[in-house]
Structure 1
Amino acid sequence: MTEARSLPRILIIDDDASVQVSLALLLKQSGYTALSCDEPQQAMQILATQGIDLVLQDMNFSLQTSGEEGLNLLTEIKKLYPGLPVLLMTAWGSIALAVRGVKLGAADFFTKPWNNTQLVQLIGSTLAYSPGASASKPDRRLLDQQFEFADIVGEHPELLKVLATIGRVAKTNAAVLILGESGTGKELIADAIHRNSPRAARPAIKVNMGAITPSLFESEMFGHVRGAFTDAKTDRKGHFASASQSTLFLDEIGELNRNDQVKLLRVLQNQSYQPVGASKTEQADVRIISATNRELAELVAANEFREDLFYRLNLITIRLPALRERRSDIPLLAQRLIADLTRSYGMPAVVLSPSALNWLSSRHWPGNIRQLRQCLERTLLLVDKPLLEQNDFLFSEQHEEAQQQASVIDGLTLDQVEKHMIEKAMEQHQGNITRVAKVLGLSRFTLYRRLEKHQIVNAEADDNDEYAK
């Protein structure tokens, strides 16, 4: 039996001999086996025979500097070896070419000259998340034995895939983009990545990007020195400095305006920044995790989000399922949430009945876990019982609707209140005159007169109805 290889094998494809030598030395020092070649045909031969784990590929070759030959080689590699990660090497002026390469399947790109530490981190994170890193089906029990996931509740297969991904990428410095609807727990996932990372000893710094005004972006993110502007009476540390050797969580990244996207991109590319008014450059030793409930790819297509920043942020993408897509987890979540709520309020333990759990599991929950928690909290406060049943949640829901209607009615005239109530009843009963009249305690004739008075259109009215004439 052939002995399994212990060192990942990395192929360097570059027609510059000095680049080959420098990279090979760096890879050897970092615990990898390096192979080198200087042209595409030889690269394909090595790939066919040597069992390569990752490729470092230059985008430009001496005979053709437009980059098309590099793109063609990348396309051929991804066609024959779709699971093989490729990192592209490019000059600073050819970043647009590298972005095209990422769209064709490259894992990421780096610029020449490179930073050795950052490149080794990029290689390590890329290998950790390669498709062959884990082929087994995730098991919640085994995941909990290896990682700290106590705050994340659920056993649905889609959630287990998310946890398995966290386990693979947490130990790396790879940039992670978390996508999902509002209320799905994106911040919880970011916390789990940080908690299971080598940076967990220092607290993660969380920033809501939608809450930072453009005029304050640089000061908030990079800090400023005394006297940098009128109100800068003291030095101020920015979020990048606060997150040094830790994790910087950029929530609502899709809300960042185009000008500030450029400033953020520059820091991610250079791994350095300059506080406002300072002459000294600071190193940005942070791990970036970002999140949004918007589709960044669509924003890129609409020219609202920079394509190069998008590819910097989503080396690893984690997409969270909506609560309705993992209904089997709702009973577990509900019981965990109700236990947390009773503890936080100092209340005796409360149990959810099977009828309550079934009712909760049947709901659509457009607001996801956040809405589920709000529903449980409201019912817990309104109903003083040790066992909550379905009717208790129905009572709570009706109470909430009544409160909302009261807030709408407050301050209206009697005629406005009457119109509101008729419109609400017409909506609830799809314009059925008989049902609406019964609910409001009116005759059909009186209801028609009220509809006419308030100019409420009744699309369901029968043209032959004598009351409608």
Structure 2
Amino acid sequence: MILIIDDDLAVRTSLSLFLKHEGWTTLTAADPEEGYALIAENELKAVLLDMNFSRETSGTEGLTALKHIKELKPELPVILMTGWGSIPIAVAGMKIGAADFINKPWDNQNLLNSLKTAIGLSASAAELPEGSASRKQLNDKYGFENIIGDDPQLQTVLKTIGRISSTEASVLIIGESGTGKELIAEAIHQNSSRRNRPFVKVNLGGISSSLFESEMFGHKRGSFTDAKNDRMGRFEMAHKGTIFLDEIGDLDLNSQVKLLRVLQDRTYEVLGDSRTRTVDVRVICATNRNLKEMVAEKKFREDLYYRINLILVNLPPLRQRSGDIPLLANYFLNNLKALYNRSGLKISQKALSWLKELYLSGNIRELKNIVERTVLVSEKDTLEIKDFEQQMEWASKPSAEAGLPAVGSMTIDEMELSMIRKAMEHHQQNISKVARSLGLSRGTLYRKLEKYNIPYEAQK
């Protein structure tokens, strides 16, 4: 049962008819006081609450009503309905505890999605109580086998994404570089109803402001000087599926405004085409930056922050779950056994204990690179501390081959050039093997070879 609190009879009537058509029963109230009584007397799934009961209050009456509802029934989802462009009031409501907000006039499908998400999140909160599920149970239920680790912090993350994957809730994943944010985003998608639809990954940090609209929304041929063909935007590619917006903290303010509209209304225009289009996507965002601080510094829009932050997933850095390092090291090693046809490879217990004590600023990605570099260079099957130390020393000393300075004075390009040269030599210029060992696509590797003028033979 859904309660609608709005002083406009036409709004109450149209919402009731729509929701009844979608299978819901409804109650209506013309003002908050009437709504409080209905909340106390009935078992409700959610409340649709108008924020503006008079122009004089400018939404403050709605905020007062929201506070009182959350006092009456803290677990009851409340979705705010805002008019007159009162987004700041809606953001204030999200801070108090509103599940979501929608703009008037509303889109029926957006309203329905918002309701289903809010109700789904409320129901899922009791699905897996803290500590109720073992790691094996989580793997069996959600297929988390490729997310390695037994640390309690990681298990909390997995329980959270297990609970919320089946909803349409927007998710913000925060964590340092190399903590596995993309892996978590993929796990959410694979456990959602959209699992058989596209999962589109976008690195927003790599898109300039001038190209943002073209990349995200597409363009028509001739819409600007270099637009020689029609281009499909990332949102259109992700239609009916999930779009993963990585490094959202790197997005400039101008592009944030453009992104906010499509996330809020699920509408956009293709460059060169005035027709408004709609898109149906699940949105997952990720960043290694502190968005709260950026909001306070006016570098990130507060309304966008609350739009993407319905569910927050905080990935711990590897140093906070160092007990998982041996599991991860052996996982990477097992993958390398097959890749390099070295079935006898293993890491000694002393070396595993030594790896646990490393400060890995690059987190899981850095650990993977250390293990792979050691396997590439060592001819022994059992990897000892000294084998790993040699690779750590190589990374912090001048390279005899390239004549490069120590890491402390090396540029990123110099470090990258040295790694590519060594990989090319080790794999005898086999582009596929080099790309895999460096964690790059073949296309990216070719671009880097051209960038550094490294000779190579193109391979199919």
Same fold (TM over 0.5): yes
| Cross-structure match for 1:225 | 220
**Distance across 1 between alignment mates of 2:22 and 2:156:** 30
1:121 and 1:172 in contact (8 A); partners too: no
> How far is the alpha carbon of 1:63 from its aligned partner?
8.1
Unaligned runs of 5+ in 2: 410-460
> How far is the alpha carbon of 1:216 from its aligned partner?
1.0
| Cross-structure match for 2:91 | 99
**Distance across 1 between alignment mates of 2:300 and 2:361:** 26
Query: Does 1:356 pair with 2:351?
Result: yes
| Cross-structure match for 1:338 | 333
| Cross-structure match for 1:86 | 78
> How far is the alpha carbon of 1:222 from its aligned partner?
1.0
**Distance across 1 between alignment mates of 2:23 and 2:159:** 25
> How far is the alpha carbon of 1:409 from its aligned partner?
6.4
> How far is the alpha carbon of 1:404 from its aligned partner?
6.6
**Distance across 1 between alignment mates of 2:47 and 2:13:** 15
1:128 and 1:168 in contact (8 A); partners too: no
**Distance across 2 between alignment mates of 1:58 and 1:139:** 42
129, 144, 148: which one aligns with 1:135:
129
Query: Does 1:301 pair with 2:303?
Result: no
> How far is the alpha carbon of 1:189 from its aligned partner?
0.7
1:127 and 1:133 in contact (8 A); partners too: no
| Cross-structure match for 1:271 | 266
> How far is the alpha carbon of 1:180 from its aligned partner?
0.6
338, 356, 369: which one aligns with 1:374:
369
Of residues 333-342 and 391-400 in structure 1, the stretch that sits farther from structure 2 once superposed is: 391-400
1:177 and 1:315 in contact (8 A); partners too: yes
Query: Does 1:124 pair with 2:116?
Result: yes
Change (3 A) 1:63 1:205: closer
Give the SS at the match of 2:86: helix
2:194 and 2:241 in contact (8 A); partners too: yes
4+ residue stretches of structure 1 with deviation over 4 A? none
**Aligned residues with identical type, % of pairs:** 50
Query: Does 1:144 pair with 2:139?
Result: yes
Alignment of 1:56-95 (within 5 A): 56-62=48-54, 65-95=57-87
**Distance across 2 between alignment mates of 1:48 and 1:404:** 73
2:52 and 2:83 in contact (8 A); partners too: no
2:396 and 2:406 in contact (8 A); partners too: no
> How far is the alpha carbon of 1:107 from its aligned partner?
1.7
| Cross-structure match for 1:408 | 405
**Distance across 2 between alignment mates of 1:34 and 1:136:** 33
Give the SS at the match of 1:407: coil
Amino acid at match of 1:173: E
Amino acid at match of 2:32: P
199, 207, 210: which one aligns with 2:205:
210
Report which of the two structures shows the higher radius of gyration computed on alpha carbons: 1
106, 109, 113: which one aligns with 2:105:
113
Amino acid at match of 1:359: W
> How far is the alpha carbon of 1:92 from its aligned partner?
4.5
Change (3 A) 1:96 1:50: same
Show CA shifts across 1:419-460 (max 9, x none): xxxxxxxxxxxxxxxxxxxxxxxxxxxxxxxxxxxxxxxxxx
**Distance across 1 between alignment mates of 2:326 and 2:39:** 50
Amino acid at match of 1:336: Y
> How far is the alpha carbon of 1:342 from its aligned partner?
2.8
308, 314, 320: which one aligns with 1:313:
308
**Distance across 2 between alignment mates of 1:346 and 1:207:** 34
| Cross-structure match for 2:30 | 38
Change (3 A) 1:40 1:280: closer
2:397 and 2:406 in contact (8 A); partners too: no
Change (3 A) 1:381 1:244: same
Show CA shifts across 1:370-404 (max 9, x none): 11111111211222222222232223322332247
Amino acid at match of 2:228: K
TM-score by length of 2: 0.82
| Cross-structure match for 1:328 | 323
| Cross-structure match for 2:183 | 188
**Distance across 2 between alignment mates of 1:312 and 1:141:** 34
| Cross-structure match for 2:441 | none
* Aligned-CA RMSD value: 2.2
Of residues 102-111 and 194-203 in structure 1, the stretch that sits farther from structure 2 once superposed is: 194-203
> How far is the alpha carbon of 1:144 from its aligned partner?
1.8
Give the SS at the match of 1:249: strand
> How far is the alpha carbon of 1:36 from its aligned partner?
2.2
Show CA shifts across 1:13-42 (max 9, x none): 222222223323333333434222222223
Show CA shifts across 1:197-227 (max 9, x none): 2222233111111111111111111111111
Give the SS at the match of 1:114: coil
Aligned residues: 403
Query: Does 1:386 pair with 2:381?
Result: yes
> How far is the alpha carbon of 1:133 from its aligned partner?
4.8
> How far is the alpha carbon of 1:231 from its aligned partner?
1.5
Show CA shifts across 1:261-295 (max 9, x none): 11111112221211111132222222211110001
Show CA shifts across 1:149-182 (max 9, x none): 2321112222122222222222222211111111
Of residues 28-37 and 139-148 in structure 1, the stretch that sits farther from structure 2 once superposed is: 28-37
Change (3 A) 1:53 1:132: farther
Give the SS at the match of 1:205: strand
| Cross-structure match for 2:2 | 10
267, 283, 290: which one aligns with 2:278:
283
> How far is the alpha carbon of 1:259 from its aligned partner?
0.7
243, 267, 280: which one aligns with 1:248:
243
1:174 and 1:287 in contact (8 A); partners too: yes
| Cross-structure match for 1:262 | 257
Show CA shifts across 1:308-345 (max 9, x none): 11111111111111112222222211111111123233
**Distance across 2 between alignment mates of 1:390 and 1:53:** 58
**Distance across 1 between alignment mates of 2:363 and 2:314:** 14
Change (3 A) 1:63 1:38: farther
**Distance across 2 between alignment mates of 1:211 and 1:409:** 28
